[in-house]
């Protein structure tokens, strides 16, 4: 970047962190995993002994949400410098949770932290989405709603627009953050013109988590005079956090690596505030093994974060529900987690 580009980028970031949503949630928002109890058969044992009736052992209730580990996790994240939490987002195994589990998880987190909470209430079932969003709003279980577009069914743009209108209605006065992640939902995700239309028509739509793998749409939104200054952009891709901040004025990141790298991420955003871009890129380089690890092909999200939190002694097990458990690369992922812990000097849970 030229000196002029650096100045413009820093100014965009400094304006981005002034929005009400950014002031509430800060720059290091953790997309929290949902810890599970261990139990039942493993894929390895079933391969050796045969599936048959033992298949049921891999399902509920053998891997229920571990409330004690949830509390341990949010305590650890708070101590490490996380400034906000996303609960039951896609990293939080939202597609694997029942409606009652969602509600209990939101209640557990709300009762055990003062950190601001974004509740992930998106679903491919609009009825369930509406009920869950309304429950969160009515019982004051979150400070904002994070809404992923309907997954698997590849909705068209009109269907996406209608879906977010419904979510906003259910959320009442709670701010709504749209989550654009085409790799999770299929299709093209939320297109630029659809996003503009939603911003115009939905007064409570206050932000965007952009996990498209590119800053293009976020930059177009930030530089469009139709988009209100208080609209907040969050990076949804840890490999592009500085780029989103400097190019699109992103206030911070809704992050996976912040589970174990909140101190470095906090330092990176402090360097951005100070205009120390050399420091920003140095810290981003130090974080590279973590964002490569979190997206490793051997054990896909939320596997790496779950394994890391177990290795750090924060949660009781690294168990997950089908189809996300016991992947063939789990031992290699465990070894990689240990390597990052040692190289980065990460703090173990007390």
What pLDDT is attached to residue 60? Answer: 45
If you average pLDDT over every residue of the chain, what do you get? Answer: 89
Whether the per-residue pLDDT at 204 is higher than 60: the answer is: yes
Domain 3-261 falls in which CATH fold? TIM Barrel (3.20.20)
Whether the per-residue pLDDT at 319 is higher than 70: the answer is: yes
What pLDDT is attached to residue 39? Answer: 55
Phi, psi dihedrals of residue 28, rounded to the nearest 5° = -120, 85
> Residues 238-252: what's their mean pLDDT?
97
Nearest to 206 by CA among 118, 268, 93: 118
Whether the per-residue pLDDT at 54 is higher than 80: the answer is: no
Among residues of the chain, what percentage have pLDDT more than 90?
Answer: 72
Q: Specify whether the backbone of 295 is left (phi greater than 0), alpha (psi in -120 to 50) or beta.
A: alpha
Nearest to 257 by CA among 208, 297, 300, 292: 292
Instruction: Give the highest mean pLDDT range of 26-30, 181-185, 298-302.
Output: 26-30
Whether the per-residue pLDDT at 219 is higher than 90: the answer is: yes
Whether pTM > 0.85 for this model: the answer is yes
Q: Report the distance separating Cα 195 and Cα 190, nearest Å.
A: 6
> Residues 236-250: what's their mean pLDDT?
97
User: Which of the residues 163, 164, 209, 293 is marked catalytic?
Assistant: 209
Residue bearing the bigger pLDDT, 61 or 310? 310
Tokens at 94, concatenated: 């939202």
Q: Specify whether the backbone of 35 is left (phi greater than 0), alpha (psi in -120 to 50) or beta.
A: beta
Q: Report the distance separating Cα 61 and Cα 306, nearest Å.
A: 19
Query: Per-domain residue ranges for the chain?
Result: 3-261
What pLDDT is attached to residue 118? Answer: 98
The full length of the chain comes to 350
Instruction: Give strand pairing partners of 208.
Output: 178, 233
Residue bearing the bigger pLDDT, 259 or 38? 259
Whether the per-residue pLDDT at 273 is higher than 60: the answer is: yes
* Residue 252's pLDDT band (cuts 50, 70, 90): very high
Least confident of 41-50, 74-83, 97-106, 125-134: 41-50
Q: Is 209 among the residues known to form the active site? A: yes
Tens digit of pLDDT for each residue in 121-133? 999 889 999 999 9
> Residues 44-53: what's their mean pLDDT?
52
What pLDDT is attached to residue 6? Answer: 72
**In contact, 99 and 131? CB cutoff 8 Å:** yes
Whether the per-residue pLDDT at 292 is higher than 80: the answer is: yes
Whether the per-residue pLDDT at 41 is higher than 50: the answer is: no
Q: Is 179 among the residues known to form the active site? A: yes
Buried b (16+ CB within 10 A) or exposed e, 263-280: bbbbbbbebbeeeebeeb
* DSSP codes, 4-31: HHHHHHHHHHHHHTTSHHHHHH-SEEEE
* End-to-end Cα, the chain, rounded Å: 42
* Residue 36's pLDDT band (cuts 50, 70, 90): confident
> At which residue do the structure tokens 């174990």 appear?
260
Among residues of the chain, what percentage have pLDDT more than 70?
Answer: 86
* DSSP codes, 132-193: HHHHHHHTT--SEEEEEPPPSS---HHHHHHHHHHHHHHHTTS-EEEEE-HHHH-TT-S-HH
Whether the per-residue pLDDT at 332 is higher than 50: the answer is: yes
User: Which of the residues 76, 163, 179, 269 is marked catalytic?
Assistant: 179
Residue bearing the bigger pLDDT, 119 or 324? 119
Whether the per-residue pLDDT at 61 is higher than 50: the answer is: no
Residue bearing the bigger pLDDT, 7 or 101? 101
What pLDDT is attached to residue 169? Answer: 98
């Amino acid at each position: 970047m030229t000196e002029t580009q650096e100045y413009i980028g820093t100014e965009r970031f400094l304006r981005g962190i002034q929005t009400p949503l950014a002031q509430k949630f800060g720059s290091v928002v953790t997309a929290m995993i949902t810890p599970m109890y261990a139990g039942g058969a493993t894929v390895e044992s079933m391969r050796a002994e045969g599936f048959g009736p033992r298949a049921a052992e891999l399902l509920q209730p053998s891997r229920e949400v571990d409330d004690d580990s949830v509390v341990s996790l949010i305590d650890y994240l708070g101590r490490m410098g996380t400034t906000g939490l996303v609960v039951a987002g896609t990293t939080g195994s939202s597609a694997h949770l029942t409606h009652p589990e969602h509600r209990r998880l939101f209640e557990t987190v709300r009762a055990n932290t003062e950190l601001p909470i974004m509740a992930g209430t998106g679903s491919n079932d609009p009825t369930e989405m509406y009920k869950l969003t309304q429950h969160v709003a009515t019982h004051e279980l979150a400070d904002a709603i994070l809404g992923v577009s309907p997954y698997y069914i590849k909705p068209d743009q009109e269907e996406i627009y209608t879906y977010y209108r419904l979510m906003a209605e259910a959320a009442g006065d709670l701010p709504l953050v749209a989550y654009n992640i085409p790799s999770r939902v299929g299709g093209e995700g939320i297109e630029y013109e659809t996003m503009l239309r939603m911003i115009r028509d939905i007064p409570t739509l206050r932000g965007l988590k952009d996990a498209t793998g590119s800053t293009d749409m976020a930059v177009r939104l930030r530089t469009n005079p139709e988009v209100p200054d208080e609209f907040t952009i969050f990076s949804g891709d840890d490999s592009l956090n500085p780029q989103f901040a400097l190019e699109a004025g992103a206030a911070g990141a809704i992050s996976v690596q912040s589970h174990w790298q909140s101190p470095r991420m906090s330092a990176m955003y402090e360097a951005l505030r100070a205009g120390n871009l050399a420091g920003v890129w140095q810290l981003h380089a130090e974080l590279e093994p973590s964002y490569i690890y979190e997206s490793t092909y051997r054990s896909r999200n939320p596997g790496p974060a779950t394994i890391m939190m177990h290795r750090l002694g924060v949660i009781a097990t690294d168990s997950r529900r089908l189809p996300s458990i016991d992947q063939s690369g789990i031992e290699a992922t465990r070894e990689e987690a240990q390597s990052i812990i040692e190289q980065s000097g990460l703090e173990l849970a007390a």
